[in-house]
């Protein structure tokens, strides 16, 4: 049934009134908890009371995309997460492997390593579907080198669609589900992360660097869960970890130098600062976690004991289960299981936090560090202009960021803009 203009105005008024009330209440609660300690919060958690509006608003979103009136719709209906939860169980999907190309252009993947992924280009507001055979796309820490895996081969290029540097035909690692792919800065090797192991791939070899075989276990198999890895920006170090093994610090050939034990339960994420002066590692327990930072001048011999306070590390954050993150020249931006992105500096000071919803699954930032793209398991891809100022009073968090738009990339639905 088509909604009358009067009914649309009634829905708009209720959406905006309840939405701003909810955001204000959440922000006040979070401010109190951060300032006074959450153990002192005695109030009830705010509730977003807009579930009954979600069907109508979703239909209006579809109409706006059909009629090319998205700008007006976005002004009338600032986006939200909680009222759409009823759709996400069936329609939500992971938006990950975001990589910056140039200006306002990125590449990203929809789906997980265990599904048939689909790669896309987002150029300003235009979405372009890439070849269906692409399994994963990665980018080097420096020098703008890209790696694309498809049809059991990895092609490494200088720049997006640039001159080919290397091509690797996968043998031992063919047909495995690749979780992450990071080419080395020279394009001569690539770090391949999967639940079957973490490998350095080159023309000469497919060298498994994690986990290492147990010589006393005849039934040992290299299966990983929560596998994660990173390269230092200068590619001098590799860090690997997973649910069953501490984070291990390796040299560029994969030989172990040191180890960093978890301060929560399971090693889950790792990242170097942009200047390579610090390495952070995150370990998780259910939806929470602890992130610590170590000075990279100690990496050659580092050994951090699990679950023990130490002067060898700085606590960066004591709450987040980190799923993805990037390092800027000022701070880290980390995405967690609860749908927050947070900017945290090398001392562990939280600069800002910003709520998007669902588990954060990927992010990338422009070269000038002004534009941030963030993907989540809700099937949303957000484009934010950092520190530009809030667009509306529905925003949850302390970050003063302007959301240009979010793409709604849901299963069995056309891609829509909000």
| Residue at 132 is within a domain | yes
247 closest CA partner among 271, 213, 223: 271
Phi/psi at 76 (5° precision): -80, -35
| Residue at 378 is within a domain | no
- Residue 245 · residue 223 · CB < 8 Å: no
- Residue 229 · residue 270 · CB < 8 Å: yes
CA distance linking residue 206 with residue 255, whole number of Å: 15
Question: Do 62 and 151 sit in the same domain of this protein?
Answer: no
| Residue at 91 is within a domain | no
| Residue at 296 is within a domain | yes
| Residue at 265 is within a domain | yes
Question: Do 142 and 39 sit in the same domain of this protein?
Answer: no
Question: Do 30 and 156 sit in the same domain of this protein?
Answer: no
Question: Do 29 and 175 sit in the same domain of this protein?
Answer: no
DSSP state of 410: -
Question: Do 267 and 190 sit in the same domain of this protein?
Answer: yes
Question: Do 205 and 349 sit in the same domain of this protein?
Answer: yes
pTM above 0.95, yes or no: yes
| Residue at 230 is within a domain | yes
Query: Which domain range does residue 181 map to?
Result: 124-366
- Residue 197 · residue 224 · CB < 8 Å: yes
Q: In what order do the strands lie in the sheet with 402-408?
A: 360-365, 371-376, 380-385, 402-408, 416-417
The number of folded domains in the chain is 2
Collect the ranges in the chain with pLDDT lower than 70: none
Question: Do 131 and 253 sit in the same domain of this protein?
Answer: yes
Question: Do 54 and 189 sit in the same domain of this protein?
Answer: no
Question: Do 208 and 347 sit in the same domain of this protein?
Answer: yes
Tokens of 121: 């280009």
- Residue 309: what pLDDT? 94
Question: Do 128 and 71 sit in the same domain of this protein?
Answer: no
Question: Do 263 and 326 sit in the same domain of this protein?
Answer: yes
Residue found by looking up tokens 């002067």 in the block? 311
| Residue at 95 is within a domain | no
Question: Do 260 and 190 sit in the same domain of this protein?
Answer: yes
- Residue 176: what pLDDT? 96
Residues 6+ apart with CB under 8 A from 124: 104, 105
| Residue at 140 is within a domain | yes
């Amino acid at each position: 049934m088509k909604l009358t203009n009067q009914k649309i105005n009634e829905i708009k008024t209720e959406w905006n009134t309840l939405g701003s009330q909810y955001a204000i209440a959440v922000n006040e609660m979070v401010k109190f908890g951060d300032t006074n300690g959450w153990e002192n919060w005695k109030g009830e958690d705010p509730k977003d009371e807009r579930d009954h509006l979600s069907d109508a608003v979703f239909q209006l979103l579809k109409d706006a995309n059909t009629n090319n009136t998205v700008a007006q719709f976005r002004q009338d209906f600032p986006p939200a997460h909680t009222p759409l939860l009823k759709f996400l169980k069936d329609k939500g999907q992971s938006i990950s492997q975001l990589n910056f190309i140039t200006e306002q252009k990125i590449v990203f993947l929809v789906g997980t390593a265990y599904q048939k992924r689909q790669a896309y280009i987002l150029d300003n507001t235009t979405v372009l579907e890439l070849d269906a055979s692409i399994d994963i796309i990665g980018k080097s820490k420096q020098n703008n080198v890209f790696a694309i895996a498809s049809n059991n081969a990895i092609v490494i290029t200088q720049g997006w669609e640039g001159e080919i540097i290397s091509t690797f035909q996968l043998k031992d690692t063919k047909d495995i589900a690749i979780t992450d792919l990071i080419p080395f800065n020279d394009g001569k090797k690539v770090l391949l992360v999967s639940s079957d192991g973490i490998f350095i791939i080159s023309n000469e070899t497919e060298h498994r660097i994690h986990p290492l075989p147990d010589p006393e276990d005849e039934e040992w198999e290299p299966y990983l869960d929560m596998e994660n890895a990173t390269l230092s920006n200068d590619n001098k170090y590799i860090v690997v970890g997973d649910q069953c093994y501490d984070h291990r610090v390796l040299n560029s050939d994969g030989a172990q130098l040191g180890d960093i034990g978890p301060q929560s339960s399971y090693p889950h994420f790792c990242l170097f600062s942009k200047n390579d002066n610090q390495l952070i590692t995150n370990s998780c327990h259910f939806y929470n976690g602890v992130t610590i930072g170590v000075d990279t001048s100690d990496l050659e011999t580092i050994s951090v004991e699990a679950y023990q306070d130490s002067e060898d590390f700085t606590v960066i954050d004591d709450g987040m289960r980190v799923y993805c993150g990037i390092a800027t020249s000022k701070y880290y931006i980390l995405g967690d299981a609860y749908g927050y992105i947070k900017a945290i500096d090398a001392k562990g000071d939280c600069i800002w936090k910003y709520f998007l919803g669902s588990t954060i699954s990927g992010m990338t930032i422009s070269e000038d560090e002004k534009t941030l793209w963030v993907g989540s398991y809700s099937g949303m891809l957000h484009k934010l202009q950092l520190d530009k100022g809030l667009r509306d009073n529905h925003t949850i968090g302390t970050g003063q960021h302007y959301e240009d738009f979010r793409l709604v990339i849901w299963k069995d639905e056309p891609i829509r803009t909000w």
